[in-house]
A = this chain, B = another copy of it.
Amino acid sequence: MHFLIIGGSDAGIAAGIRAHELDPTCEITLVLADEYPNYSICGLPFFLSGETPDWHSLAHRTEFPGIRLMPNHAAESIDPIGKSVVVRNGSGVQLELRYDKLLIGTGARPVRPNIEGFYLPGVFPLHTMEDSFAVHRFMEEQQPKSAIIVGAGYIGLEMADALTHRGIRVTIASRTETVLATVDPVYGRLVEAELQRHGVEVWNQVEVTSIQSLDSQLSVLGTQNFSRTADLVLVAVGVQPNSDLGATAGILTGTKGALRVNRRMETNLADVYAAGDCVETWHRLLNRYAYLPLGTTAHKQGRTAAENAIGNNREFAGSLGTQVVKLFDLVAARTGLRDHEARRAGFDSFTAQTTVWDHKAYYPGARELHLRITGDRTTGCLLGAQLLGHKNSEVSKRADIFASALYHNMRVEELNDLDLSYTPPLSSPWDPVQMGAQFWANAVRKESPVVIPSA
Is the Cβ of A322 less than 8 Å from the Cβ of B421?
yes
- Closest B residue to A47 by CB, please name it: B362
Q: How many copies of the shown chain assemble into the complex?
A: 2
Q: Which chain B positions have C-beta within 8 A of A333? A: 421
Q: Does A417 reach chain B (CB closer than 8 Å)?
A: yes
Is the Cβ of B423 less than 8 Å from the Cβ of A325?
yes
Q: Does A77 reach chain B (CB closer than 8 Å)?
A: no
Is the Cβ of B284 less than 8 Å from the Cβ of A42?
no
Binary CB contact string for chain A from 414 to 436 against chain B (1 if under 8 A, 0 otherwise) = 00111111111111111100000
Determine the interface band of chain A, counting residues with CB < 8 A from chain B: 35 or more
The minimal Cβ–Cβ distance linking A412 to chain B, given in whole angstroms, is 14
Of the residues B299, B363, B401, B404, contact of A51 by C-beta under 8 Å: B363
Q: Measured between alpha carbons, how far is A323 from B426 in the docked complex, in Å? A: 12
Task: Kindly identify, within residues 36 to 64 of chain A, every residue whose CB is under 8 Å from any CB belonging to chain B.
Answer: 40, 42-43, 46, 51-52, 57-58, 60
- Closest B residue to A323 by CB, please name it: B421
Q: Which chain B positions have C-beta within 8 A of A423? A: 42, 324-326, 396
Q: Which chain B positions have C-beta within 8 A of A407? A: 417-419
Q: Does A103 reach chain B (CB closer than 8 Å)?
A: no
Is the Cβ of A429 less than 8 Å from the Cβ of B295?
yes
Is the Cβ of A419 less than 8 Å from the Cβ of B362?
no
Is the Cβ of B296 less than 8 Å from the Cβ of A46?
no
Is the Cβ of B399 less than 8 Å from the Cβ of A299?
no
Q: Does A297 reach chain B (CB closer than 8 Å)?
A: yes
Q: Which chain B positions have C-beta within 8 A of A21? A: 442
Q: Does A87 reach chain B (CB closer than 8 Å)?
A: no
Q: Does A4 reach chain B (CB closer than 8 Å)?
A: no
Is the Cβ of B361 less than 8 Å from the Cβ of A420?
no
Q: Which chain B positions have C-beta within 8 A of A420? A: 296, 322, 397, 400, 403
Is the Cβ of A300 less than 8 Å from the Cβ of B416?
yes
Binary CB contact string for chain A from 341 to 383 against chain B (1 if under 8 A, 0 otherwise) = 0000000000000000000111110000000000000000000
Q: Does A392 reach chain B (CB closer than 8 Å)?
A: yes
Of the residues B284, B298, B360, contact of A419 by C-beta under 8 Å: B284
Q: Which chain B positions have C-beta within 8 A of A408? A: 404, 408
Q: Which chain B positions have C-beta within 8 A of A428? A: 60
- Closest B residue to A403 by CB, please name it: B419
- Closest B residue to A430 by CB, please name it: B299
Binary CB contact string for chain A from 388 to 409 against chain B (1 if under 8 A, 0 otherwise) = 0001101011111101111110
- Closest B residue to A432 by CB, please name it: B397
Binary CB contact string for chain A from 284 to 309 against chain B (1 if under 8 A, 0 otherwise) = 10000000001111111001000000
Q: Does A335 reach chain B (CB closer than 8 Å)?
A: yes
Binary CB contact string for chain A from 7 to 25 against chain B (1 if under 8 A, 0 otherwise) = 0001000000000010000
Is the Cβ of A60 less than 8 Å from the Cβ of B319?
no
Q: Does A320 reach chain B (CB closer than 8 Å)?
A: yes
Q: Measured between alpha carbons, how far is A392 from B326 in the docked complex, in Å? A: 14
Q: Which chain B positions have C-beta within 8 A of A442? A: 21
The minimal Cβ–Cβ distance linking A12 to chain B, given in whole angstroms, is 13
Which residues of A are at the interface with B, using a C-beta cutoff of 8 A? 10, 21, 40, 42-43, 46, 51-52, 57-58, 60, 284, 294-300, 303, 317-326, 331, 333, 335, 360-364, 391-392, 394, 396-401, 403-408, 416-431, 442
Q: List 24 A-B pairs, Cβ < 8 Å.
A: A40-B362, A42-B424, A43-B362, A43-B363, A46-B363, A46-B425, A52-B364, A60-B428, A296-B422, A296-B430, A303-B416, A320-B419, A323-B421, A326-B423, A391-B426, A392-B392, A394-B396, A396-B421, A396-B426, A396-B427, A397-B420, A400-B431, A401-B401, A407-B418
Question: What would 9 more interface pairs be, CB under 8 Å, given A46-B363, A403-B419?
Answer: A43-B424, A51-B364, A52-B363, A298-B429, A300-B417, A326-B426, A394-B396, A397-B401, A397-B421
